[in-house]
Amino acid sequence: MSEQPIVFSLVALDCPDPQGLAEFYGSILDWEVERLYEGSDWFHLRSPAGATIAFQKVDDYQPPVWPGSEHPQQAHIDLDVADLDAGEARVLALGARKCEFQPGEKFRVYLDPAGHPFCLVLTA
């Protein structure tokens, strides 16, 4: 009996405003925002290669605190860029906030509008 493969489907982020957060990441990545179905609080982005990021509404959402362990980040998204300064200007213009603590020179840490940490990572 052959085993069925396990296939990655998506990663989902909890947030207070799933449409707004989907639009934030959709603008950064230039991916189209889709609503699961009319009236739902579930939005997702699907890359041309098939990777999917989903956003689901959570009442009384509490954002993670980075760095720290009182409300740990538990997960974050890395986005590759060829120019950190240009990438930073783009994400800040879209509503990201730069974290005060920056642990390295090849990447920078930001908070999305819901408070999730994400990194821009220098690829060049």
User: Can you give the residue ranges of every domain in the chain?
Assistant: 9-60, 62-124
Per-residue DSSP letters for 50-65?
A: S-EEEEEE-TT-----
Q: Closest Cα partner for 66 from 118, 14, 120, 24?
A: 118
pLDDT digits (tens, 9 = 90+) for 30-48: 999 999 888 889 999 999 8
Q: Which two tokens stand for residue 64?
A: 């993670």
pLDDT digits (tens, 9 = 90+) for 52-108: 999 999 899 888 887 877 776 677 788 889 899 999 999 999 999 999 999 888 889
pTM: 0.77
pLDDT digits (tens, 9 = 90+) for 1-13: 567 665 666 888 9
Report the C-alpha gap between 33 and 102 in whole angstroms: 30
Q: Which SS3 state, helix, strand or coil, does residue 24 take?
A: helix
Kindly report the CATH class assigned to 62-124: alpha beta
Domain 9-60 coded CATH 3.40.50.620: no
Residue with tokens 């060829």, as numbered in its chain: 82
